[in-house]
């Protein structure tokens, strides 16, 4: 990814109309990463949204 890109992980959705409800995620070591590559940075933000239908 480049600095102007973002990745959104939807971990849960209460909707039961056929769309994805759960989204597990994980990490891995990429053996092709150059030894001098900049370290990865991660920011986690948890947000709850409640609204009337």
Determine the pLDDT at residue 36: 95
SS (H, E, C) 3-39: CCCCCCCCCECCCCCCCCCECCCCCCCCCCCCCCCCC
Determine the pLDDT at residue 34: 94
CA–CA distance from 22 to each of 12, 18, 28 (Å)? 5, 11, 20
Determine the pLDDT at residue 35: 93
Give, for all 53 residues of the chain, the pLDDT tens digit. 788 888 777 777 888 898 778 777 777 888 999 999 988 877 777 777 788 87
Alpha-carbon distance 53 to 51, whole Å? 6
Determine the pLDDT at residue 39: 85
């Amino acid at each position: 990814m480049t600095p102007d890109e973002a990745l959104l992980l939807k971990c849960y959705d209460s909707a039961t109309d056929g769309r994805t409800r759960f989204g597990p995620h994980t990490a891995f070591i990429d053996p092709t990463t150059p030894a001098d590559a900049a370290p990865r940075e991660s920011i986690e933000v948890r947000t709850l949204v409640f609204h009337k239908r």
